[in-house]
Every structure is written in C-alpha cells, then in structure tokens.
Amino acid sequence: MTTSGLDSKLAELARQYDDVAAQLTTPEVHADPAQLRTLGREMARLEPVVEAFRELNEVRDQLVGARQMRDSETDEEIRAMARDEIDALEARETALVDDLRVSLLPRDPNDDRNVIVEIRAGAGGEEAALFASELLRMYSRYAQEHKFGTDLMTVNETGIGGIKEAILEVVGDGAYSRLKFEGGVHRVQRVPSTESSGRIHTSTATVIVMPEADEVEIQIDEERDLRIDVKRSSGPGGQSVNTTDSAVRITHIPSGLVVEIQDEKSQHKNKAKAMSVLRSRLYDLELAKQRERDSATRRTMVQAGDRSEKIRTYNFPDNRVTDHRIGTTIHNVPGVLEGQLDPLIDALVMADQADRLSHLTETDDGPASGAPVKP
C-alpha cells in the first residue's frame, strides 16, 4: 500500500472515530444501554489506530520544521541539532507507518476463539507416541503460561507414557491467534531410550488446530445426521476402567467424521465434549472449503492448511528446533518442549504479516467490518 493510500484509509477511520465520539455525547445514546455498549466497543477498537495516525501527522509536521531549520540556518551547531532531530523523527515516522500498515490488515475473525488441538502419533511406533505426549505437555504448559484454561477432552494412552491421540481444548481470548500456525507434522530426531546402539531415530506426530465452533454456527440434526454409540470406557490395552456405559462414539453420517470421548464418568459430559469436537471439525471443514472457493485468499507460507506437511523438527542431538516454513531455528529443545513457544510463534505471526503486507495494494478494501486491530 502506498503512503497516500494508507493516509486515505486512516483519514476515513479518523472520521469514523470522530463520528462515534459525537454520538456517544448524545442523550439518545446514553438512554440506550445496548447502543452505548456497541458504540463504546467501536470507539475502543478505533482509538489506538486513530491515536497513532494523529501522532504520525504530528511527527510529519515536526519534520517539516526541522528540515526548514537545517536548510535555512547558518549556525553549524543548530544545523547539527536539526539533523539529529530529523534522524529521530524519521525513525519514528517509519515505525508508525509500519505499525499502521499492520493495523489495516484484515483481521482473522477466528482469532479470539477458543481452540481445539488434536495430537496424533505418526510414524515411529512407541517413540512417536512418546513424542505426541511431549507435544501435549508442551501445549498445556504454553497455555498455562499465557493464563489460558485447558481441558483434556480425551486421551488414548499407550501404557508406558505415550499417547496415540489426544484432544486438548484451550480456552481464552486470543487462544486461536496464538496457536493457529501449529497445525501440521512435527518431527523429532533423537536416540530412543530403548536404542542400545545409539542410533538416531526419526518419528512424527500430527497436530491439528481448529477454532472452536458453537451450536449457532454449526447446526446438527441429531436424529437424521448422527449415529451415537455408547460403551464402557477402556484404558491402555483395552481393559475396562469403569462399570458404566459412559464412553460415547458419535458418527456424523453426511461427512463420515467420527468422534469418541470416554474420559468423563458421565455419559452426558462425554457426549457434550464429543459434540463440541464434532462441531469444530465441521467448522474447520467449512473454512477449508471457503479458502478453496475464495480466489482472493492466498495460501501463505505459514497457513498452508496441508496437514501432511512437515512444519517443524525437534533435533535432540543438536539441541535445535527448526520451523521449516520460515527457516527459524532455536537452540533450546528442552525449553520449547516446556512451552517456551513464543519466539517461534512471534516469528510465524510476523512472517504472516509481512507476507500479507507484500500483497496489500492501494486498491485493497482493508477490514470488511469493524475497526482494524493489530493481530
């Protein structure tokens, strides 16, 4: 986006902000709590962008004065002071323009949602199951560090510390925005504890990240679309872990999707969790179809959407974690597996922003609704 295009969009947002501020002073709005809340939220979204735009205009005005001083003054000391001021003001102008360009990127409407994270052991047998268990712990610890709530909806254990599959719900504002780039194949390279010759093995686990959907968005006709089976819950090796038919297996007949939850003792709770996972899977399928239909939606380097794509390698011998989509490497495998994911996630977010900014032109419409907000 050119500077003139950016200024035009920001000027329009400033006019919207002033209009909302004026409406908030009227008796009619103060007498209508619903409208007051709506306009208040709108103002809160617009305010940081408009304040940054107004600061940008002030910086530009100061730059005009500083450049005039540099060009008109004969005193070399004053000219040197003007040059120093110009350097500082130009750096601030660049930073503000960069931030405002990011603020005009259309925001992912799912960013504030809760997340359903599915982790499945892949190639590598028991070593893959152990790695899947470590990934589950990694995301649980990451959520804990960011004050997100978690609910381990189901886990299929192998009996010696590994897992075949687990479904983790991460609850909190912005949970999806932080975890949405984690989907794909994760690969581990290390010497298994059972390997006597010291040979490095490679194993994989697949991570699927889905925004949590609600009943309004995904409506399911239970009588027509679902087959619901109940059975006794089982533990590792298939042994029964309780004496009631509490495990629930739901088959969505139109899509063929199957969800089984058995971790709760209550059949009703297991069914509710299974329905939540099923809705999220169906919502995720709809998002995938929408991306395919929408020619304007590009397949970016960090949002490939291909669950078979290898996205990250955890190399224990070299103490190296490499994200292959952006070429970022961190030499701290233990820390990353303890949930210290922010350096990787921040790099992915910045790469996504840079990729989208490179395709943002002066003819772009910007956000479709609401005020732009920083992703």
Which of 306, 251, 260, 240 lies closest to 167 in space, CA to CA? 260
Overall number of domains in the chain: 2
Q: What are the phi and psi torsion angles at 221 (to 5°)?
A: -85, 100
Tens digits of residue pLDDT in 294-324: 554 455 546 544 566 899 999 999 999 999 9
CA distance 247 to 167: 15
Two structure tokens written together for 79:
């000219």
Same domain membership, residue 144 and residue 61:
no
What pTM does this model have?
Answer: 0.71
Tens digits of residue pLDDT in 80-101: 999 999 999 999 999 999 889 8
CATH number at residue 56: 1.20.58
Tens digits of residue pLDDT in 242-267: 545 678 999 999 999 999 988 777 88
- pLDDT over threshold 80, residue 107: no
Tens digits of residue pLDDT in 216-225: 678 888 889 9
Among 83, 105, 127, give the residue marking a domain's end.
105
- Segment 329-340 shows an average pLDDT of 97
Report the pLDDT value the prediction gives residue 102, as an integer from 0 to 100.
83
Report the pLDDT value the prediction gives residue 257, as an integer from 0 to 100.
93
Q: At what angle do helices 33-72 and 3-23 cross, to 10 degrees?
A: 140
The residue that leads in pLDDT, 191 or 300, is: 191
Q: What is the overall mean pLDDT for the chain?
A: 86
CATH number at residue 212: 3.30.70.1660
pLDDT band at 161 (very low <50, low <70, confident <90, very high): confident
Among 105, 138, 165, give the residue marking a domain's end.
105
Same domain membership, residue 165 and residue 98:
no
Question: What is the percentage of the chain residues whose pLDDT exceeds 70?
Answer: 86
Among 86, 105, 124, give the residue marking a domain's end.
105
- Judge whether 349 and 79 are in contact, CB under 8 Å: no
CA distance 79 to 3: 28
Same domain membership, residue 168 and residue 31:
no
Same domain membership, residue 168 and residue 89:
no
Report the pLDDT value the prediction gives residue 368, as an integer from 0 to 100.
34
Q: Which of 134-138, 208-212, 280-284, 304-308 has the highest mean pLDDT?
A: 134-138
Question: How many CA atoms does the CB half-sphere of 234 hold within 13 Å?
Answer: 9
Report the pLDDT value the prediction gives residue 318, as an integer from 0 to 100.
96
Same domain membership, residue 146 and residue 27:
no
Report the pLDDT value the prediction gives residue 218, as an integer from 0 to 100.
83
Report the pLDDT value the prediction gives residue 12, as an integer from 0 to 100.
92
Q: What angle do CA 312, 313, 319 make, to 5 degrees?
A: 130
pLDDT band at 371 (very low <50, low <70, confident <90, very high): very low
Same domain membership, residue 133 and residue 95:
no
Domain presence at residue 208: yes
CA distance 98 to 92: 10
Same domain membership, residue 135 and residue 83:
no
Same domain membership, residue 216 and residue 69:
no
Domain presence at residue 372: no
Two structure tokens written together for 99:
């931030």
Domain, as residue range, for 33: 3-105
Domain presence at residue 339: yes
Same domain membership, residue 120 and residue 101:
no
pLDDT band at 236 (very low <50, low <70, confident <90, very high): low
Report the pLDDT value the prediction gives residue 175, as an integer from 0 to 100.
94
